[in-house]
Structure 1
């Protein structure tokens, strides 16, 4: 084995003594396993091998990326949350050697808190912010990057704590608050509002975050905005135009209906006509028992009056949950396909059992189970 190959093997074996020996024997500190791989310093940086990284840097290893498409040693350490290695490389001048063709180091650190969420990733982000790291020319502001990347609230708070503007706007003028509202990210919305973002800022459509949240039926977001004092102007009309009845009640309406109100829409919403449910046969059987229980408790006429769905359909769906689930050919779960009307029947049965009728539930099933099942179903419905 030649000296360079010995160095590569020693780095991959995480053996500092072998690395020191290979370097002393004349191995190239910029060695790589092949011309298609990164240097040994980048490998050491990506795995957090501080002692090995020190040996390589002391031996004169390059701080630059081997090729433009590869990560530099510093970026590798940032991406993987290795603060000690980041500090070492920065102390040795890696910031001056770092290019921006792959975006800023700050952008890499922000992304790392999502892709490799760990406390160390936040510490690397904090360190770079304390060094004065900024977005590269042409990049969106840090807050916008974080919101668009679905960063955790801790990341957004870190950026705000180091001077980022909660009222930042994307390059097209859209406020970060509206970007978060459109994506249904109520946690980001809350963090930005707490930091002072204007709840009534508008985008190029003249729409506020509240209007966008209502359009997309993001009720947790609209609630956060209303609690922060968001202006109702235009919101009720949007809610009526999309027939968002729950929001209409939030906005103070005492009675609502299926309004036919023309509005200018900024969203296109999918309207599924069928669903595939996935689970285990035992769980499907419990759902079937609950549907049958609700239907039997109410009876033919009262079921149809209260739910607006046919009694015969409820009976059919109850049987289907017991008899129809089939194992997926490519996974361990079972599945059953329902029409939109059938799924509505399931939900109506759960609503009746949770809030209206006081039926004797099947053995082993209590009110807590009914409420939990209804909550999970509601969370998944568009």
Structure 2
């Protein structure tokens, strides 16, 4: 064992110096020398840093491509995690795939997941290399398309998987089709990609429910629109006797009822079989810069002054005193957040409803006065941002 040569090799690999690496190997350095217990071998270090030339020298010298050390790390996996597609391709060409450990998550499943955690072109290129090399999930793991939809990942990843042979109607291990999973999660981008690739818009899960039914229950209006535009059948009946329209009525999703063709919608008390638990906050925390929170106060005051208390209550369904109180709080009770740079105010659900109602009136109602230096489109944007966060 030549400790001096090994140390020379480690330093050369860390520096990415191919000449010095070759010299150290020629001087008797061990191509499997460990950089440290946690960093792994010199080959793993070279793969992590994306030094393809160094990787080649080490492999040619007999460096071990398979799992190394206590944590069973492989050069291929660290190259994938760092999105070095060229290194991944080289290692695969030198039989790195069969050398991967079967006791860890498969490298393909991990590569799909990583496109969400570290989305960048190189991660997509690395996934493409693995797919083209025939990488597969381990037995018991979900198909890559299901993994992608469940994460969820960007549409580009789904398109790549489909282009490389993924079944657009792939089912999860419990029989749930990919498009139903995407609809349940409100992922309209994934729904659109799957539909464009030919997914069956009316396929059902084990309970006989379609993607439309799940999207309706969850008030996912962009998903509903995509499914309706694709021609989904509205009056399909599930195994437990539900239709999409009955689910919309039972959850009192009035906008969805109109989307499904209803001309009148009220607060129906219709019993349904529900597959989701809905969260209804009784209070929320508004966070932002003081001027933005003060803007909300100004909007409330302007609309109250324009409509008057009775008209306000009629149009919004919110007590005028509640609106006046929250406007005062937005002006006087906003405080700095601990350990953060924003300001905040805790408000009740009724106070939030008053704030949103004022924005609706100023954005789309009859009130024409606007806060100083603010356009109506800015009010519309602010309203839509609140609606998106509040799940409307």
TM over 0.5: yes
Q: For 1:133-144, what aligned pairs fall within 5 Å after superposition?
A: 133-144=135-146
2:303·2:367 contact (CA, 8 Å) conserved in 1?
Answer: no
Q: For 1:178-193, what aligned pairs fall within 5 Å after superposition?
A: 178-193=180-195
- Distance across 2 between alignment mates of 1:269 and 1:118: 34
* From 205, 228, 252, the counterpart of 2:261: 252
Q: Secondary structure at the match of 1:96?
A: coil
- Distance across 1 between alignment mates of 2:147 and 2:155: 13
* From 191, 211, 230, the counterpart of 1:209: 211
Output one character per residue of 1:78-126: Cα deviation in whole Å (capped at 9) or x when no partner: 2222121112212222223223322333213212322221212222222
Shift of 1:37: 3.2
Shift of 1:68: 6.6
Question: Comparing 121-130 with 337-346, which one deviates more in the overlay?
Answer: 121-130
1:80·1:116 contact (CA, 8 Å) conserved in 2?
Answer: no
- Distance across 2 between alignment mates of 1:196 and 1:90: 32
2:88·2:129 contact (CA, 8 Å) conserved in 1?
Answer: no
Alignment partner, residue 41 of structure 2: 39
2:92·2:133 contact (CA, 8 Å) conserved in 1?
Answer: no
Aligned CA distance change for structure 1 residues 367 and 7 (closer, same or farther; 3 Å): same
Aligned CA distance change for structure 1 residues 5 and 105 (closer, same or farther; 3 Å): same
For structure 2, list consecutive stretches of 5 or more residues without a partner in the other structure: 236-242
* From 219, 222, 226, the counterpart of 2:221: 219
Alignment partner, residue 56 of structure 1: 58
Alignment partner, residue 3 of structure 1: 5
Shift of 1:312: 1.6
Shift of 1:169: 0.3
* From 14, 22, 27, the counterpart of 1:12: 14
* From 78, 87, 90, the counterpart of 2:89: 87
Structure 2 residue 364 is matched with structure 1 residue 355:
yes
For structure 1, list consecutive stretches of 5 or more residues without a partner in the other structure: none
Q: For 1:301-316, what aligned pairs fall within 5 Å after superposition?
A: 301-316=310-325
Output one character per residue of 1:356-379: Cα deviation in whole Å (capped at 9) or x when no partner: 123221210110111011011101
Q: Secondary structure at the match of 1:336?
A: strand
2:297·2:328 contact (CA, 8 Å) conserved in 1?
Answer: yes
* From 370, 374, 378, the counterpart of 2:379: 370
- Distance across 1 between alignment mates of 2:110 and 2:323: 53
1:288·1:317 contact (CA, 8 Å) conserved in 2?
Answer: yes
Alignment partner, residue 120 of structure 2: 118
Q: Secondary structure at the match of 1:95?
A: coil
Shift of 1:32: 1.5
Alignment partner, residue 99 of structure 1: 101
* From 260, 280, 290, the counterpart of 1:281: 290
Alignment partner, residue 111 of structure 2: 109
Q: Secondary structure at the match of 2:40?
A: coil
Shift of 1:131: 2.2
Shift of 1:307: 0.9
Shift of 1:134: 2.3
Paired residues in the alignment total 382
1:294·1:359 contact (CA, 8 Å) conserved in 2?
Answer: no
Aligned CA distance change for structure 1 residues 68 and 154 (closer, same or farther; 3 Å): farther
Structure 2 residue 343 is matched with structure 1 residue 341:
no
TM-score normalized with structure 1 length: 0.96
- Distance across 2 between alignment mates of 1:69 and 1:247: 51
Q: Secondary structure at the match of 1:62?
A: coil
TM-score normalized with structure 2 length: 0.94
- Distance across 2 between alignment mates of 1:332 and 1:155: 35
Shift of 1:67: 3.6
